[in-house]
Structure 1
Amino acid sequence: MKADSQSVLDGAAILANAEEIGPLLREHAADVEAARRLTEPVVDALRSTGVFRMAMPATWGGPEVDICRQNEILETLARADASAAWCAMIGSDSGFYSGYIDDAAARSLYPNLDAVTAGWIAPAGILEVCDGGYRLSGRWSFGSGSTHADVIAGGARVVENGAPRLLADGTPEERMAMLPAEQWEVLDTWRPLGLAGSGSHDYTITDAFVPAENTWSFGDSYRSEPLYRWRGMFMVNFFGLPQGVALDACDVATSILGGKVLMPEMVPAKDVPRVRAAVARASAMVGAARSYSYDTVGTFWNVIVAGDEPSFEQRAQLTGLFVHVASECRAAVRLLVDTVGTVAIQDGCSLGRKMRDLDVIAQHVLAKSQIWEWAGGMYFGQDPPFRAL
């Protein structure tokens, strides 16, 4: 069942819809990469699945899909095209972000369950206090999906009377500001080697009024349901992306190698021990990372559902999982690319595109080596500098 503004979908239906549009996403993957943004047929297909409404609350008629199923849905999309899945992940933040502000403001920003959000949480802008809210100015990077977004958000530091406004602990106050997409200017800056179709352009705004009720900070929550209790839950569907890309890479590489003859030996690649070993090893690497991912996310989710506060150890496991899954999936696909050889570097080879996509995913802040340090600190009871973890 495809989504429309009146459809009632659950996680199983959205997953089935995601599987159904796989062939279309594969067909358009090269066009999306060349355009450096999702093309209209791909955006329409994603909207039709209901993926953008995954995190919308049941009280609004949304599916309020649990975080484990969200990873399954995004993994399915990522098997077909990483850029489409990435935009689906970011765009579905609408449901999470709408829970950080009061219901009236949220419904004004998100009148449609399938409304798409884009934006960067880093405080690259300035929110200057004024009557009724703030004046926002700034320029942000990595606005994935900004070319088809309905709402755009940007992190900013709060300034009052020309000076940073401080929190009770003496640190500068930071807030997220959200406004309709038409109030922002999207700049044509996204020219990467991988994940090109995500359209992660810079975007800017100057001296725009933002009502106070359209801003929030981590820790704010107007909903009590499990999906919204943990301040960083909007990031926990990240794992489906590298897993889906790597799973499909295993299939693509096996297919290529099944028909390849190695030169100069002139023997079938599938009969060569080192080729067989590489395929088996890569599959095990992806499978192990995936199993650990679902186990860790599932355990964390159960803690939240029970109404308990995650322990430092549970937070550490989840935090370390970001870089572990991204790096293991990337290493597995690198092994496959090296085994396949020159076929993988040819323009139009999906295995090469998957490698490029994983190289970019691995540069995300959540997949960087510093995350290991933050996770390690949690094992010793130390909070990380990023409050959403």
Structure 2
Amino acid sequence: MACGVLIALSGALAAFIFNAVYARGWIDLEVYREGGAAVLQRTSVYDLIVGENRLKFTYSPFAAMLFTPLALVGMEVSVALWVLISILALEAVIWILIGRTAVKSRSRRTTHTLLVVIAILPLYPVTLTLWNGQIGIILLLAIIVDLTHGKKKWRGIGTGIVAGIKLTPLIFIPYLLVTRRFRAALMAGLGFLGTVILGFLLLPADSRDYWGGAFFDTQRVVAGQDADFFNQSLRGMLMLMTGSWPAVPLWLALCAVVGTGGLLVAAWTAKKAGELAGITACAIVGLLVSPVSWPHHWVWCIPLLVLWAQRAQRVDVTLEKVGVGVLWFIFFLPGYIALATLLIYPSHAGMWLMSLTGSYVLSGFLALLALAVYFGRIDWRQRRHGLGDA
């Protein structure tokens, strides 16, 4: 109990400091509030134009209904509560990840959790999630709890509901099928379908607009820009690199290869390294093949870093420890440099900046490749020894 109170108080303190430092921002949270307000006022959610950046509501009608409580309180209260909940969710994720190791003392586990949170908070995807008032860390926690700690007969339904809020977690349904957890895949599908049906029952016009094509309109997400330096997906990189090339067919071909191969690697990872590792690998696949993956979508760098750090400590290999440090640096500095360049010196945004902004895509791809090579070598050695024994 004391450990939980300490973590909660630390989260409250971190939220207070964050609000004090970042007095402006919260552009996505403002969109959430306006979406909730549109539901209450019975106006079209998908006709909204919010703020100076002229942002549109890109989530499902079900998500808009969930955001209605935000419209009942002021923006200041919404910001304070949202940042606090997000930081508590971050602490909960780290607590679960730390629990994989042999940390038996709750006080020691609490200390480790808080130290890791301090190391994770400065990472650009995490800071940007908090600054924009994004929902990513909360959804990350929901998926991890559902697929690793939920009751077996209900496992998957929480992930399906999360996918009903934000579509990218749909990648976990084929992952569950590949790992032969058919009941969990079915529950995820039913959970997702339930959110769609609820949307049509309560917001039929908005549901027709969204599922009739708005959900696939990337122009709503990128605010009219086909190529964006901040789109950390395969499509985003191709749009910057290809110029006049046929980017869409190439993107679809890459998605087929990376998606299929990546899901097999994720299933392999789950079998060899545990469920949390498999979930993380699957999430990386989803980020790569998604049409748009903003830097704040890459909060899945949190379990990636923590799990790798735990392995590096366990095997005590210097090269792996250096690798963890390099990965932490990649998710820390390049995003801030890219943001500062585009805001202060936009004329300097050239190919070198693209290499910075593409670092997430490269890191995710290399992580999947490394997992495939590593487990492939293990299986090859086992087969070779088996043949030798025979």
Relative to its length, the structure with more strand (as a share) is 1
Could you state the TM-score of these two structures normalised by the residue count of structure 2? 0.33
Could you state the TM-score of these two structures normalised by the residue count of structure 1? 0.33
